[in-house]
Amino acid sequence: MAQLSRGHPTERELEILKVLWKDGPHTMRQMHEALSLTSNTGSKALLTIMNIMVKKGYLTLQRRSKAEGGNLYSAKVTQPSTARAMLQSLARRLFGSSVASAIQNLAIAGELDQAELSELRHALNELAKKHKT
């Protein structure tokens, strides 16, 4: 998958990416329908945003005929790579690149339940094992 462009997706771009990550490729019409519950964006504005996302490297555009349902958009970046890039940027800007400080603050602010705490412990233990070898 492609790397994120220099910046990060906007809130609207993230909404679009989340739909594509969850449900796979969409036409413009399908995307408009998928976002209609939370979006007042018109079709023309949505098309503009999606074409900008293609230029930024967030989406891939597969040109198809109108008989095939129009152009098909798919995510070019993955959710994990996008999350990592955005979290690394936040840690760098807010916590002086201290991942530990970022994790501590997120954990405290997140009011984690026991299952989430267990998952976090497991992830940290796995990371510790990797650093020992």
- What's the predicted TM-score (pTM) here? 0.77
Q: Within a domain: residue 90?
A: no
At residue 25, φ and ψ (nearest 5 deg) are: -55, 145
What CATH number has the domain bearing residue 48?
1.10.10.10
d(CA 69, CA 58): 22
| Confidence check: pLDDT of 1 > 50 | no
Range of the domain at 105: 98-132
When pLDDT is averaged across residues 15-35 and rounded to a whole number, the result is 93
The string of pLDDT tens digits covering residues 33-84 is 898 755 556 778 888 999 999 999 999 999 877 777 788 999 999 999 999 8
Whether 46 contacts 31, CB under 8 Å: yes
Contacts of 35 (CB under 8 A, 6+ apart): 15, 16, 19, 41, 46
Looking at residue 74, what is its pLDDT? Answer: 96
